[in-house]
Amino acid sequence: MTGARRIMVAMSGGVDSSVAAALLRDAGHDVVGVTLKLWGGESDNGCCSISDVNDARRVADHLGIEHHTFNFEDDFEAHVIAPYVAAHEAGRTPNPCIECNRHIKFARLAERADALGFASIATGHHARVVVDPRNGVRRIARGVDVAKDQSYVLAMLDQRRLAGLELPIGELTKTRVREIAADIGLRTAQKPDSQDVCFITSVEKRSGFLSNRMAFTPGTVVDSEGTELGAVDSVELVTIGQRRGLHLAGGGAPRYVLDTDVAARTVTVGARRDLLCSTTQVDGVVWSAEPSWGPLDVQTRAHGSAESARLDDDGDGCATITWDAPHLRVAPGQTVAFYLDDLVLGSGTAA
């Protein structure tokens, strides 16, 4: 980074965003910390609790930078909570944190930063922004710390959003981030990482949250030939590939969820090999820059690894992934990220 700029840092109250703000301050930039108030209900994990807001404010005070809180609860309800519930009602398995990134942190927040005259926004994600010297195209790349890499959850960002984005800790390991935080006396130095969806408490869990917002559909568990094996209280809470929580009789080989059908009130189970497929259909395809059809690598989980495949354009934002080797079926609603080596090319959603 060259030249001092006015940068808005999204501070979640965790160690990563705390160190991101510190590094930008030390580089001579005019840094302002912002914490987003997204969820008005109970929260005991994730990044929306009152203690997280307080941690962010105290870190900002320690660093000697301004701190503000923006209330985006209405946007969060419209773009994250409502689609999350609707996806479950349709029998899909959504990624709410990715939708929060797409609509709130890298859209709504970026718009607010632009309106307030900030040159850039920054976050504490373990990923990098790289620029192609030939044409100035910016892309997300994997973070240096492979075990903490978060490029997958940023795979929806296009050139407009990448133009004003800084990821200061992408070149650091998590161990080094904590060392820096400890060296400058940040209260978040040893704070555990957030692991869960911020609006799902550890007490009520997903079932409790959804039960207050939708009606559950009891269903029958069957094998691929239609033989009844058991029952579930809610088809909407079952996901492709699930093994536990089906309350099936013990004995025999493990059985996995192969399909769910809310309308038919059925959950189909079978052997793990029955989950293998040669193709995956995706919709909502977006690219960081120009489309990159053909051979590439595809990652289907935040902490998974990318696998070789071919991506073919089906039109209207839809595509077909043809796997080089048989691949476990991807639950509808899950994000799939497209890579070329360490560079993110784009993403889509399993149909």
- 162 Cβ neighbours under 8 A, 6+ residues apart: 129, 138, 139, 140, 288
| Separation of alpha carbons 89 and 217, rounded Å | 9
The one catalytic residue in 48, 198, 277, 318 is 198
The one catalytic residue in 47, 48, 97, 100 is 100
Q: Is 198 an active-site residue?
A: yes
Beta bridge partners of 219: 232
345 φ/ψ sector (left φ>0, alpha ψ -120 to 50, else beta) = alpha
The packing angle between helices 50-63 and 15-26, to 10°, is 20
DSSP one-letter string for 87-112: HHHTT----HHHHHIIIIIIIIHHHH
Q: Compute and round to an integer the Cα radius of gyration of the chain.
A: 21
Q: Mapping DSSP to helix (H, G, I), strand (E, B) and coil, where does residue 149 land?
A: coil
- Residue 269 and residue 247 in contact, taking contact as beta carbons nearer than 8 Å: no
Q: Is 100 an active-site residue?
A: yes
Residues labelled as active-site residues: 100, 198
